[in-house]
Structures are given as structure tokens and as C-alpha cells.
Amino acid sequence: MKKYRIITITGILAFMLGVIINTNACTNFLVTKGASQDGSTMITYAADSHTLYGELYFRPAKDYPEGYMMDVIEWDTGKPMGKIKQARHTYSVVGNMNEYQVAIGETTYGGRLELYDTTAIIDYGSMMYIALQRSKSAREAIKVMAELVAEYGYASEGESISISDVNEVWIFEIIGKGSPSFGKDGKKVYDKGAVWVARRIPDGYISGHANHARITTFPFEKDKLKNSISSKNLSKIFDPRIENVYSYDVVTFARSKGYFTGEDKDFSFSDVYNPADFEGVRFCEGRVWSGFNKVSKDMGKYVDYIKGENLKNRMPLWIKPDYKLTLQHVISLMRDHFEGTPFDMTKDVGAGPYECGYRWRPLTWKVEGKSYLNERAISTQQTGFSFVAQSRPNMPDKIGGIFWFSVDDSYSTVYVPMYCGITKIPEPYREGNGSMIEYSETSAFWTFNFVSNFCYLRYNMMIKDVQKVQRELEEKFITEVPNVDKEAMAAYTTNPDKAIEIINNYSNTQANLTVMRFKKLGQFLLVKYIDGNVKKEKDGKFLKNGYTQAAHPDQPGYPEWFLKKIVDDAGNKLKVIEEPKK
């Protein structure tokens, strides 16, 4: 998802004056079944954008007549892109997960901006959601996306995409070829479409990406390796031995543009199409590093890379975690302000007296002509929605897939279990219930934003109250889900409709209860922390003074380090003048 800025590029200046390009937005982590404690695969996604409204998308399964044309609408802007051929049958999709437990997430890396195709129809969002409606496996999703852009062109910047099913997790990186151009002889210089690489994450490992291309070198089919194919042999993608797939011209196109002159074996997709620079590493790779650092003791060796001091010391595409990850571990990857690292956002003066791990934009700023930055963490204020998609084997797909969905800031939100087979979306999360410019009293997005934005005022105190409720709800869900699984699976063998009713009722009930609980939490925080005071309470009940009034509140004031900075800034202006003793 995108954070926007205006750019201009020689040769496509007229178009690029109006184009919106990503700098640093979303975060994904990818967990293989061998790296998870319960044998499920998981991918995470934080859709970070200052203009994205958090809601749960739903597309029911549907049949279409032969020759039906579907409208393609650009995900980021709502702009009509054109029409393409619709599939005869599409699968049900809840959020970013379909009824076959296939899930997709993304981060935009931008890359070489001259490769944006102004004539194409398929933007990255449409590519993802169309693939979900047409794919029963991660491999099929890769095939669908590759074929879509080959036929209709690719109308976005560079993207890293996470794809999972019950067995595998893949990373797919893609960038366009620019608008098709013609030589003096009238022939096209190159075909429309995109160049791309897809790699399967080895079982037992995890990966991640955050707005910077991460695939470097990879094996080629011509090297007689049985595990690699080019797009010319895309039908072979379903062979389980295949672990690497790439567009046939990923190298030759780079050569034609002058991006690469070395030997094929040295070709690095990331270094060619999205070369590392200071901001790309510090703002983007830093988030991947922070997540990896939580589950691997070996990440200290890359601190100089994340600082931007040694851009050649790149992190690996995937790592083996020190232990197998639970759902709770994976959720915790999405809650991070670099705590306990050299980049800890809660410890410098920018965090204020209450250790707030957030910085308002812009990310970079100048003082006396010198440039400085704010760190860009995984948890950020502008998240529209985030999720953990969990694909579980040995269950019917509609029950096995759980789309743990949340809205707003990942640090203070709650991940609610939405079974991938549900056919009814909870009202608080429904598309159209409010918007970024329309408040809705029943909207989950606005409810969670009320709590998080209030917390930013006195963060290190209020967040503890939020985390108490967060744990209460998420632990409740994790405890209840096995019982719901058991009930739904028992019904599924004889009455699939009854099974769907069970998961519909559970997901909708828990979603509604979660929003109601957070509304009460917002009211509780307002009462407890009003006017800078902190009311005394025990077990959620406010204490009285022994009669009818509230007990006198605590008034914790500012920490000593902050008071010293006030004195340093104010000098004697605030000094108390003491009268001489008589």
C-alpha cells in the first residue's frame, strides 16, 4: 500500500507530474509450515496509507456467462482502468484470503520509476484480488498474475507480494517495463507486461519484505536445474519440484535498458530493479530486520546495514527462526517500535515525556540545513488494516483458513478470527460503513482510532490499559477457536451449510463483541485520564473517597529528564524566586 509523493521523470514527464509513487508503507512477514508450531502457514500484512480506510472486503463466489467482461478498478484510487475477460467461476474471498486458504499480501517498493506503464490495465491491487478469485493454490495465483500482466500490461510500480496456501509460502517480486515504445522501423522495442521473479520460501524458514525488493540472485532454468522455470514454461509451475519461477526476459530486458551488463549468474533482481539506498534500507529493510531480530539471535550482524553504514551487508531473503512460531509470536511481529534495539522509538526525546513510539510526518526534516529522520517502524499510526492469514492443513478449506483481521494501528488493535468460509461480514467491519471522511458510530475503524489517538497523548500509561483488553480478547479467541473448529467440522461431513452457519455466527459475534469492548475501553480511558489526572481504580472499577466522590486522583507529572530539558530551554524564566529567610 502506498504513501504518496509527486515525482517527475525525463521522457515521461507529462504523465509523471500527476503520478503517485510509494516511498515507505506496508510490512509483510511470511512463515512456512515447518517454521510454525502447529504446522500452519502464515503471512502478515499491514496496509499502511494515510488515505486507506480499514474495512473487510468480501467477494462471494459467482458464476459468469461466456464472454462476460469485468471492470478493473484501481485499488488505490478508484480509477476505472478498463475491462478484461472474466473467469466463468470465481471463488469467495474474505479480505485477502479465499475459500481455498490462499492468501496474498504486498508491499510497494517503487523501483525504477520510468518502468511505470501508463497504457496498462492491471494495477497491483487488481492483480492480487483477481488472483484470489481464480486460484486454488499459491502456485496457481502466481500463474494467474503472470498471465494477467502479460495480456493486459502492468499499471503499477514495483511490488513485493506474499502468497500462501496450506502447503507453501512464496515471495513474488514484479516491476513493469514502461509504456511500450517503437523503433524507427515501427516495430515494438519490447512486449508489454512486466518482469518478475517468484521464489518458494524453504520449509522451516521465514521471510519478510517492507517496501524494498528483497530477491537478489536466483537459479536459472538454462543451468539445467530442475527447480527453476521461466514464464515460457509456466504450465510446469504445478510440479512440486519447482521452487523458482521468473519471466523469460527478466535479464534480457535489464540488458536492453542498460541496467545490467554482467553475467547471468550475478544478476540480482533487487540490485537491478530497486537498488538499495540509505532511505530504502533505513525506512524499509529496517522493519524486516526488526521482525527477524525478535526470533533470531543472529541479526545483530546486520545493524550496520540497517543504519545505512554498510549497504553491501544485505540480510538474507529468508532466515531460520530460533524456535517454531505460534500465532501469538507472529502477531507480535506486527507490534513493534524497535523496542530494545539501537533504533528504539520510545527512548529518544522525540517520544516525549510519555515514551510514545510514533512520529508525525514527514519522515525526514531539516535543521540548520542538515537532514534528519524519524524511524519508520512496523507499528504506525496510518495503518488502514492489518492481518495474519493462517492456512491450516487437515481441515476442510472453509474451516481451516482463518483470516485474523484488524483495523488501525497494529500495536493497539485486536486481531479477530474471520474464518475464510464465512458468507456474512460483521457490520462494524463491512465495506461502506463509514469512510476516511465520514465518521460512523458503528464502525470498527473509528472505534479503534478513538482509542489509539487518545493513547498517543499519554502513551506509556494508557497503552497498558489497552494491552490488558487486547490480551483478554485475543487469548479468548485462541482458546475458543479449537472448539469452534471441532463443532464446524462435525457438521461439515453431513451438512456443509450448517458448518458455514457455525463459523458465520462465531466470527460475526466475536467481531461485534470486540468493537463493543473497545467502545467501553475508550470511555474508560477518557474517565481515567481526563485533564492529565489519573483516577485510582482496581479491576476496572474507579475508587471513591469513602463517600460519594471519586478518590483524589494521582498526578504523576513529567519524568525528571523532561523537566531538566524544560529548565535548559527556559533558563530562569520559570525559576521560583525564594524569599530570604528572616
Q: pLDDT by residue (tens digit) across 567-581?
A: 999 999 999 998 888
200 with 265, same domain: the answer is yes
Q: Are 142 and 128 in contact (CB under 8 A)?
A: no
132 closest CA partner among 120, 144, 122: 144
What range defines the domain where residue 353 resides?
337-377
Banded pLDDT at 180 (limits 50, 70, 90): confident
Residue 432 lies in a domain: no
Strands, sheet with 28-31, edge to edge from the N-terminal-most edge strand: 318-319, 206-209, 28-31, 41-48, 383-391, 402-407, 416-419
Cell of 534: 489519573
- Whole-angstrom Cα distance, residue 154 to residue 111? 14
Q: Which phi and psi (to 5°) does residue 554 adopt?
A: -75, 150
Give helix 496-529 / helix 444-455 axis angle, nearest 10°.
30
DSSP-assigned letter for residue 230: E
Is the pLDDT reported for residue 13 higher than 80?
no
pLDDT digits (tens, 9 = 90+) for 83-125: 999 999 999 999 999 999 999 999 999 999 999 999 999 999 9
Question: Span 467-476, mean pLDDT?
Answer: 98
Q: What pLDDT is attached to residue 109?
A: 97
pTM of the model: 0.94
Q: Are 110 and 172 in contact (CB under 8 A)?
A: no
Question: For 568, what's the count of Cα atoms within 13 Å in the CB-facing half-sphere?
Answer: 6
59 closest CA partner among 160, 134, 122, 120: 134
Instruction: Identify the burial level of 209 via C-beta atoms within 10 angstroms of its C-beta, where 0-12 means exposed, 13-18 middle and 19 or more buried.
Output: buried
317 with 464, same domain: the answer is no
Banded pLDDT at 15 (limits 50, 70, 90): very low
Question: Span 55-70, mean pLDDT?
Answer: 98
Residue-averaged pLDDT of the chain: 94
Partners of 245 in the β-ladder: 198, 229
Last residue of a domain, one of 277, 303, 336: 336
Cell of 89: 467461476
Residue 2 lies in a domain: no
Q: Are 174 and 122 in contact (CB under 8 A)?
A: no
pLDDT digits (tens, 9 = 90+) for 232-250: 999 999 999 999 999 999 9
261 with 342, same domain: the answer is no
Last residue of a domain, one of 328, 347, 377: 377
Residue 45 lies in a domain: yes
361 with 263, same domain: the answer is no
Task: Please tell me the total number of residues recorded for the chain in this structure.
Answer: 582
Is the pLDDT reported for residue 12 higher than 60?
no
Q: What pLDDT is attached to residue 582?
A: 73
515 with 529, same domain: the answer is yes
Question: Span 379-403, mean pLDDT?
Answer: 97
353 with 214, same domain: the answer is no
114 with 67, same domain: the answer is yes
Residues 6+ apart with CB under 8 A from 237: 139, 140, 142, 143, 229, 245
Residue 354 lies in a domain: yes
Q: What pLDDT is attached to residue 192?
A: 83
Residue 402 lies in a domain: no
Partners of 206 in the β-ladder: 31, 319
145 closest CA partner among 84, 220, 67: 84
Beta strands in 287-344 (DSSP E): 318-319
Residue 41 lies in a domain: yes
315 with 352, same domain: the answer is no
The total number of structural domains that make up the chain: 3
Instruction: Identify the burial level of 537 via C-beta atoms within 10 angstroms of its C-beta, where 0-12 means exposed, 13-18 middle and 19 or more buried.
Output: middle
- Whole-angstrom Cα distance, residue 162 to residue 30? 7
Instruction: Identify the burial level of 80 via C-beta atoms within 10 angstroms of its C-beta, where 0-12 means exposed, 13-18 middle and 19 or more buried.
Output: exposed
Partners of 435 in the β-ladder: 438
- Whole-angstrom Cα distance, residue 192 to residue 346? 47
Q: Are 58 and 93 in contact (CB under 8 A)?
A: yes
267 with 248, same domain: the answer is yes
326 with 361, same domain: the answer is no
Question: For 27, what's the count of Cα atoms within 13 Å in the CB-facing half-sphere?
Answer: 29
- Whole-angstrom Cα distance, residue 61 to residue 398? 12
Is the pLDDT reported for residue 19 higher than 70?
no
Q: What pLDDT is attached to residue 188?
A: 64
Amino acid at 537: E
Q: What pLDDT is attached to residue 16?
A: 38
Residue 463 lies in a domain: yes
Check whether the bond before 553 is cis (ω within 30° of 0).
no
189 with 78, same domain: the answer is yes
Residue 162 lies in a domain: yes
Last residue of a domain, one of 321, 350, 377: 377
Banded pLDDT at 6 (limits 50, 70, 90): very low
Q: What pLDDT is attached to residue 2?
A: 52
231 with 359, same domain: the answer is no
SS3 223: helix
Is the pLDDT reported for residue 416 higher than 60?
yes
